[in-house]
Structure formats: C-alpha cells, structure tokens
Structure 1
C-alpha cells in the first residue's frame, strides 16, 4: 500500500538556474544533488517546514526517460508557461509576496482575496507558474 508522496517533478530549463531560484529566492533547502551514469542529474529541493516532500528539478533531455523529440516538446511547453509548480502555502501572503518581489521573483497577479484565502500567482525562472496562498481562516 502507498504510504505517502515523497517526490514531485517540476520540469525546468536549466537546473543550475532553477536551483538558484528555488534555494536563493524561494528559500527551499537542497535535498539531493548528484549525477548518475549517463549524466542524469538528480536535484531535489524542499520547503524547510516539509522536508518529507521534495521537488525534483528535472531538466528534460534525451535519454532513458525521453526521446529527443519528447524532451524538446516538454522544454517548449515549460518555456510557454504551460506547467505549474504547485501551490506554496504561507501564513501571510502579502508579506511573503513583498519579500519575494524584493528578491526579484516575478508575479502575474498580486495577492487577491479568494473564497479559499489570499492568493498571488508567480512564475519561476523557467516559466512554471505557482500559487502563493494563505488559507482562509
């Protein structure tokens, strides 16, 4: 029986740049960073308060997982903003939004009150969108 989800993949255009963004701008911790046979880099980050769920920052390349054509299609979709990195929760959306903007994080929508809480929509440096959400109390 499945007990939990340990890793979720976020496709990125450049792993070094994505690492800098998720670690230095969003404040994630590095979980793993190593290269295995064939040049495949396993790079993960996690939120400090949730170390048991890691984001795999995966760069689509030709290899065991993708054909050259499939990798190129995924890279194009990432660049077009067709994928989301998920919902990142905060206890104060406005404050976190201001801190992230000061670090150079781009947002497409500022914090706005919704029925489920306060949400701002941002994008990572590969083009993936994410929701920054403060749950309704």
Structure 2
C-alpha cells in the first residue's frame, strides 16, 4: 500500500462544506461530480497536496446525520500539517476559524486545535525541524 488516498468528513450540506474548507481553511476544490443517486463526489485538499485528500460526504441517513460534528467522539480526528504555523494560523483566524486554544509547543512541534463548521476537532500542526526540536 503506497498511501492513504481519502478520508471522509460527513457534512450537512455540500455547498456550505465546500465554502468552509475552500474559503476559510484554504483548501482547493479538486472534484465536485454529481452521481446518479443524487449525491455528489466532492473532494478537497490543501494546496499542493499529493496524497491524502478529504471526501466531503453529505449525510443521507439519520444515523449519519447524528454523527455530523462528532465523528471521532470529541477527539481530534484530522491533522492539518503546515510548514509555516504562524502564517497559516493567522490566515485561518482572519477567515473566521475559531481555535480552541492558543498555539502550544510540544516535544514534537507546534499545535493548536480548531473546529470545522460542524464542530469536528482538527489540529493545525507544524512538526519540529531537526534544528529546533525541544525548543
């Protein structure tokens, strides 16, 4: 197995989810294809991402609707890596992302938790470079 291709985020509405991930988080819309069943195949990813992307899947059952915003039982479920934490954090805040905490330095890097438009928890994360570990 070469890599993980897609991860799914269950959403209430395709268009509001696209607007959030594209206009607020800064992802690119890679695909938006209507299917025969009345759903859409909607894929977003950070600019330049070459492997993993996010499939935005509209809930179609009551069970799926109940999981919108709490797909991981309150834990952080997605980790958005960056090589410029401060820049991306400031840009996301200016676009309306609400972070749950101030950025914190951990042994492995800098991290701050934010929620998407439905309440799912994400980490914005910058891994330590070899020359700054532990600082």
Q: Same fold per TM (> 0.5)? A: yes
**Which residue of structure 1 aligns with residue 94 of structure 2?**
102
SS of 1:3 mapped into structure 2: coil
**Which residue of structure 2 aligns with residue 73 of structure 1?**
63
**Which residue of structure 2 aligns with residue 58 of structure 1?**
57
Number of residues of Structure 1 aligned to a counterpart in Structure 2: 127
**Which residue of structure 2 aligns with residue 48 of structure 1?**
47
Residue by residue over 1:3-59, the C-alpha shift from the partner in whole angstroms, topping out at 9 and shown as x without a partner, is 332211111222111100111111111111011112021100111121332210111
Structure with the larger helix share? 1
Structure 2: tracts of 5 or more residues without a match: 130-135
Structure 1: tracts of 5 or more residues without a match: 62-70
C-alpha root-mean-square deviation of aligned residues, in Å? 1.8
Within-5 A mapping of 1:1-137: 2-61=1-60, 71-80=61-70, 82=73, 84-137=76-129
TM superposition score normalised by structure 1? 0.82
TM superposition score normalised by structure 2? 0.83
Tell me, in whole angstroms, the C-alpha distance in 1 between the residues paired with 2:87 and 2:30: 26
